[in-house]
Structure 1
Amino acid sequence: MLARFFQKKDKQSEKDPVEEYCKAGGSKEDIVIFNAQEVTDFSSQYGSGTSISYAACNLAGRGNIYPSYGDFTQACVFRTYGPWWDISPSKTEPFKRTPPSFCSQDYIELAFQKKVYPLKLEIYETYNPGCVVKILACERSEDTDVDTGHSLTRWKTLWEGEPTLPGPTSRMFCPPLARCPFPTDLIRLELCHKLVHYYTELDYVVLYGTASPEEEEEKSMVNTQCMVSDKKGNHMTEVSMAMKKLEQLSIGSKSGSPTKSDTLSSRQEHKTDKSKEAVLDNFENSDIEKGSECYELGEVNRQMSEEEVTESDNGYFDLLPEEVIQQILSFLDVLSLCRVARTSRLLYKHSYDSLQYTELNLQPHWPQVNDVALESLHNRSRFLQRLNLSWCHGNIVSEAAFCRYVQACGQNLRDLYLSSCSFVTQYSIHEIAKSCPNLEELDIGSCKGIDSDGFYDISSLQSLKRLNLYRTNIDQYALLSIIRSCSGLKHLNLGSTDCVHAFDEVLLALGNNTKKLVSLDLWRCRTVSNVGVSALANGCPDLQELDIGWCADVKSSSMCLIELVRNCTQLKKLFLTANRTVCDADLLAIAQYSKDMEQIDILGTRQVTADAAKKVLESCEKLIFFDVSFCSGIDNYTVEHWTREFPRVAIKKSFQN
C-alpha cells in the first residue's frame, strides 16, 4: 500500500500526502501524528545553553508562534545567516573537493515518540523561511557492530532541495518525501542560510506516519529498489539513477564531434556494454539496506585491486599526458573519485595516487563515512594536508578507526575539521596531539564528548593558528595552558564555552601571549568584562574581528570600547549585540578610528541615537553590514531612508509581528 502511494505521489506531489495515502487504500486510523519530542543534536544555536530564548530545543513540542511572523525568542534560531560570516576576517579556506550540490550549513535532529513509516513532515517556519535543504530519516538497530560495539545505524534521504526565498511570511513547509524503507523515530533537518536577509526561525515540526507496513507493502519493499530524490523532489531508483549517470559519461570532444561510441568497433562497444552491466549489477546486488553510497565509498575500494579492474579500454585518455589526467581528476569529490577507480586500470592508477588526496572533504558524505571507508583511504592519504570530518556520527564512525587513520596519515596534516563529531573524546585529542605535529587549524566546535582534562593535549600543538572551541566543555585552566603554549594563534572561537568562569583571566593571557591575534569570538561568554576588553585593546594590535555579543558585563562607561577602537585600528568586524550600555560616544569613536570597519552589530542598544549611527555610515566607507535591530532610538522610517542613501550597506532592522 505504501509502495502504491509513493508511486502515485511522483505525479501528484502537490496534493496532500495523507489524502493520497487514503486514496491508495490506506485508512486514516492507521496514521499517527507526532510533534517532535526532543532535540537530540544540533550544530549551532543563537541562544545559550542555559536559556530557552532562541534555543534549538524550542523546535520540540507544540508550536508557540505560527501563524505569526517575526523575530520571537520562543523560536529555534541558528547562529549565522547570509554571507556575512563567510566574508569576515575569520573566514576559512573552502575545500576544493566539495560537491556543488552540498550547501548545508547547519543541522538539527529531532526524536519522536514512536517509530513510524513517514508519510508527511510539516515544518513551521515563522521568520525568513526557505532554508531547509535536506530531510533525512535514521534507523537505529538494536543489533551492534561486532567490530565497534556500536548500534547499527543508517540514514535515508527523504527529500533534498535548494534554499529559496519564498517571501516575508510564515509558512508550513511540507515537501514530498521519498519512501522510507524502515520505520524511524529520528528525523534530521539540514539548512542553508546563505540567501536569507536575517536569521531564519522555526517554530515546530509535525510528523505523520504509519506504525507498521501491511504484508503487501513488505513485499513491495523487497521488490522495489530504494528510492532517492533529486533536487527537484523527483524520485528515482538506485538503478535508474546509476543508468542515468552512466549515459552521461562521454570522453568525446566538443559537441558535434565524434564520440567514443562512434569510433569503437562493435566488439569494443559490446565490451563497454558489459562493463555498464557489471556496474549496474554492483548496484543491484549490493546491500541496499546498508546504503549504496556507503558501499561505494568503503566496500568497493576495499574489494577492488588493480588486477581486478579488467577493463583495458581507456578511450581518449590514452592520448593525454598523465599530468592532464591528474588535473581532470582533481575536480572530482572523493565519492566520484572512488567510482572512477572502477572503470579502467589507467584511471584506477590515477585515482589511487596519493597526490589526489592532499585534501579530503568528507562532511558532504557524512552518512556514508564509516570505519570501512576510513580504512580504505589509509594508503591514499600519505600526503594528506587538509581533512574535514565534520558532522560524522559516532554511531557510524568509531573513535578507534579515526585514531588509526590519524596515526597513519597525520604527519603532514595541516588543517583538521571535526565540528559536531560525536565520536571525538579526550582520546582523539591525545592522538591528534601525538600524530599531527604540523597542525595549524583545528575545529572541534560542538564536540561535547571531550572532558575538561582532555583539552590540555592541545597545548603541544604549538604551530596552531586557528582553534574553534565553540560549545565545548573546556575550562579556563586548560584554555590558559593552550594560550600560553600556542603564541601564534590568529583565530580563536570561544563562543558559548559555558565552563569558563573567569574570562578576564583568559583575555589577559591573550593580550600577553597572542600578539598576532586577528579574530576572537566571545559570543555569550558571560564573564567577559571591561578588564578583559582593555587587555585585548592593549595587547592585540592586529585584531580585525571581535564578537562580544551578549556579554552583559562589558560596560561602555568604563571607556573600554573607545580604547579598543582607538588601539585596534585594523578592526573590520565588531559585534556588540545586546549590550544595553553602548552609547553615542562609542559610535563616534568607531566613526573616527575604524576606517576599515565592514560589519557592526549593535542590536538591542537603547542609548544610541540616529545621528551617531548615521555618522558611522558616513565615515566608515567600507561598511557593508549594520544591524540596528531593536535600537529604540532608530525607527523604521530612518532605516528606510538610510537604505536609499547608503545602498552599499545592508542595514538590518528586525521586528516582532
Structure 2
Amino acid sequence: MSYIFFFLAGVPNKKKSSGDFTFFFFFRTYGKKKDQCPRTSRSHSKLYYREVSFFGRWEILWSERPTKLNASQARQFKPCIKQINFPTNLIRLEVNSSLLDYYTELDAVVLHGVKDKPVLSLKTSLIDMNDIDDDAYEEKDGCGMDNLNKKFSSAVLREGPNNGYFDKLPYELIQLILNHLTLPDLCRLAQTCKLLSQHCCDPLQYIHLNLQPYWAKLDDTSLEFLQSRCTLVQWLNLSWTGNRGFISVAGFSRFLKVCGSELVRLELSCSHFLNETCLEVISEMCPNLQALNLSSCDKLPPQAFNHIAKLCSLKRLVLYRTKVEQTALLSILNFCSELQHLSLGSCVMIEDYDVIASMIGAKCKKLQTLDLWRCKNITENGIAELASGCPLLEELDLGWCPTLQSSTGCFTRLARQLPHLQKLFLTANRSVCDTDIEELACNCTRLQQLDILATCQVFSSHLRIMLPLCLALFLVLCIY
C-alpha cells in the first residue's frame, strides 16, 4: 500500500471523487496483478477486533468472499458485524482486491457505537452461547487454533476398530490424500486412529507450512507442539504472527534451532516480534536459506540487518519498508552475490542509492527483479551502473523516484542495455516522453507490462508503435 494511511480514520472528504490524492488509502496492486508482482493478497475480506488486554484474543467480526461489482462510482460499504462483549482499542482490516479492474482507494473508515454504554471490566468473564457457536463455525473454516495445541499434544490414542482395507493402501498414496488437508484438519484426523496419526504427524506433511492464516492465535505453545513435525520443513510462512507478545524471541529461536536446517524459504512479513537476536538465529540455524521476506518489519533495529550477510545462498531478499542502513546493505550485497530478486522499496534510511546501485551492478550479476520504489535520491549515474552490471534484469520498479529525469537519457540507457526487460514501472515520473517509449519498443521486445501513470508527455500514437514490436505486451498503465 502506498500514500498516507494516517488519514484512513476520520471524516470522509473525497467521497464520489477520483484521482491521485494523498488523502486516500491507496493499494499498490489490483486484480491479477497480485500474481504478477511480489505482493500478497488474501482470499477473504475480513474485519477483526482485539480485546484490550496484554494476552487478549482476536475475534472475526465479519468475513466474506469477494463479489464482482459493476458500479464505477464511490460507495459506502457497511458490513453486518458481529456483536462483541469486550472493549477494544485495536482494529485490523484484511482486504481482497483480486476482482478489481483498477487501483482502489479508501477514503475513510467510520466506526459507530454507543458512547454512554458502560464499559465492561477487563476482568469480567462473560460466556455467551453465540460465542461458542461462532467458535465452532470458525474451526470449520480451518482457522480455529484454540484446540490446535491440545490436538497436537495428544500422545495417547485409544485402540480403535479395525481399519478395514484403508491401511492396505500404499503409504505414499495415503500421504498424497492427506496432503490436501488444512493444518487444523490434520490435527483432527490424527485423533481418529494410530494409522492416521502416524501419517498426520509425518514430517513430510509439513514440507510447506503456511501459518499466516492463524496469525491471530499462534503462540509459543503452538510452535513448540509443531517442532517435532517440522524437522523437514523447507517453506515456512510466519507473516503477521507473533505480535502483541504471542510469540517470544526465545520461542521463535527454539523453533528454528530444531526446524531451520532444511529451510529454504522464510516469510516474516509484518512480524513485529523480530529483533536482532532473531536475525542472528536465522543466519546461524538456516544455512540453506534462499529466500527471506522481512517486508514491513519496521521495528527491526538497523544493526540487525548485518546478520543477513551471513546467508550467502540467498537468491531472494525483500527488505521493503525496513530500517536497513547503507552500511549493512552494502555488506549484504557484497556477500550475497547469488541474489536474483531484491526489494528495497521505501527504505528511507539509505543515504545514497547511487552507491547501492553501483554495488548491485558490480556484485549481483544474476539479478532478475529489482524494486526501488520510492527511492528518493537515485540518479542517472546509479541507473547507468545498474543497466551495465545487471543485463539479466526482467523486472524493474522505479516508481515515485523523483530524481530520475528523462532528459538525462537514463530511461534510454535502460531500454538499450536491458533487452530481457519484461516489466517496467515508472509510476509518477512526469518526465517520461515519447522518445523513451520508442526506445523501449525497439529494444525491449519481451516487454509485458509498462506503468507510466501520471506522465503527460506520451501520446497514444507512440504507444501504438509498441504493439507490433512487443508481442508479449498485455498491460500498459497510463493517464491522458
TM-score class normalised by the smaller sequence: over 0.9
Is residue 298 of structure 1 aligned with residue 202 of structure 2?
A: no
Residue among 463, 476, 481 paired with 2:331 = 481
Counterpart of 1:413, as a letter, is L
1:543-554, aligned counterparts within 5 Å? 543-554=393-404
Counterpart of 1:64, as a letter, is N
Residue among 247, 267, 282 paired with 1:432 = 282
Cα distance in 1 for residues equivalent to 2:25 and 2:165:
53
Aligned in 2, Cα 1:589/1:345: closer, same or farther, shift over 3 Å? same
Is residue 136 of structure 1 aligned with residue 136 of structure 2?
A: no
**TM-score normalised by the chain length of structure 1:** 0.69
Which residue of structure 1 aligns with residue 448 of structure 2? 598
1:343-354, aligned counterparts within 5 Å? 343-354=192-203
Cα distance in 2 for residues equivalent to 1:223 and 1:553:
59
Cα distance in 1 for residues equivalent to 2:387 and 2:465:
23
Aligned in 2, Cα 1:311/1:238: closer, same or farther, shift over 3 Å? farther
Identity of aligned residues (%): 40
Cα distance in 2 for residues equivalent to 1:135 and 1:223:
20
The answer as to whether partners of 2:157 and 2:191 remain within 8 angstroms in 1 is no
Which residue of structure 1 aligns with residue 2 of structure 2? 46
Which residue of structure 1 aligns with residue 62 of structure 2? 159
Gaps of 5+ in 2: none
Cα distance in 2 for residues equivalent to 1:79 and 1:547:
12
Is residue 504 of structure 1 aligned with residue 354 of structure 2?
A: yes
Deviations 1:335-366 (A, max 9, x none): 22112112221111111111111110001111
1:201-212, aligned counterparts within 5 Å? 201-210=105-114, 212=117
* Shift of residue 210, structure 1, vs aligned partner: 4.1
Cα distance in 2 for residues equivalent to 1:214 and 1:187:
17
Is residue 65 of structure 1 aligned with residue 14 of structure 2?
A: yes
* Shift of residue 300, structure 1, vs aligned partner: 2.5
Which residue of structure 1 aligns with residue 42 of structure 2? 104
Which residue of structure 2 aligns with residue 224 of structure 1? 129
Which residue of structure 2 aligns with residue 83 of structure 1? 32
The answer as to whether partners of 1:297 and 1:368 remain within 8 angstroms in 2 is no
Is residue 457 of structure 1 aligned with residue 307 of structure 2?
A: yes
* Shift of residue 312, structure 1, vs aligned partner: 4.1
Cα distance in 2 for residues equivalent to 1:477 and 1:436:
23
Aligned in 2, Cα 1:316/1:81: closer, same or farther, shift over 3 Å? farther
1:392-541, aligned counterparts within 5 Å? 392-395=241-244, 396-541=246-391
The answer as to whether partners of 2:87 and 2:119 remain within 8 angstroms in 1 is no
The answer as to whether partners of 1:382 and 1:409 remain within 8 angstroms in 2 is yes
Higher relative contact order (CA 8 A, sep 6+): 1
Cα distance in 1 for residues equivalent to 2:34 and 2:383:
22
Q: CA RMSD in A?
A: 2.4
Cα distance in 1 for residues equivalent to 2:194 and 2:179:
18
Counterpart of 1:161, as a letter, is E
Cα distance in 1 for residues equivalent to 2:456 and 2:316:
35
The answer as to whether partners of 1:489 and 1:516 remain within 8 angstroms in 2 is yes
Residue among 427, 445, 455 paired with 1:577 = 427
Which residue of structure 1 aligns with residue 103 of structure 2? 199
The answer as to whether partners of 1:429 and 1:458 remain within 8 angstroms in 2 is yes
Gaps of 5+ in 1: 1-44, 48-54, 93-102, 106-131, 142-150, 228-235, 246-290, 635-657
Deviations 1:370-401 (A, max 9, x none): 11110001111111111000011322222221
- Matched residue of 2:160: which SS? coil
Deviations 1:443-502 (A, max 9, x none): 000001211111000000000000000000001111110001000000000000000110
The answer as to whether partners of 2:34 and 2:98 remain within 8 angstroms in 1 is no
Counterpart of 1:430, as a letter, is E
The answer as to whether partners of 1:313 and 1:344 remain within 8 angstroms in 2 is no
Aligned in 2, Cα 1:309/1:425: closer, same or farther, shift over 3 Å? farther
Cα distance in 1 for residues equivalent to 2:15 and 2:88:
26
Counterpart of 1:65, as a letter, is K
Aligned in 2, Cα 1:409/1:172: closer, same or farther, shift over 3 Å? same
Residue among 174, 177, 182 paired with 1:325 = 174
Aligned in 2, Cα 1:134/1:240: closer, same or farther, shift over 3 Å? closer
Counterpart of 2:52, as a letter, is R
Aligned in 2, Cα 1:137/1:316: closer, same or farther, shift over 3 Å? farther
Cα distance in 1 for residues equivalent to 2:284 and 2:405:
42
Which residue of structure 1 aligns with residue 187 of structure 2? 338
- Name whichever structure is richer in strand by fraction: 1
**TM-score normalised by the chain length of structure 2:** 0.93
Deviations 1:580-603 (A, max 9, x none): 211111100001011100000111
* Shift of residue 317, structure 1, vs aligned partner: 2.5
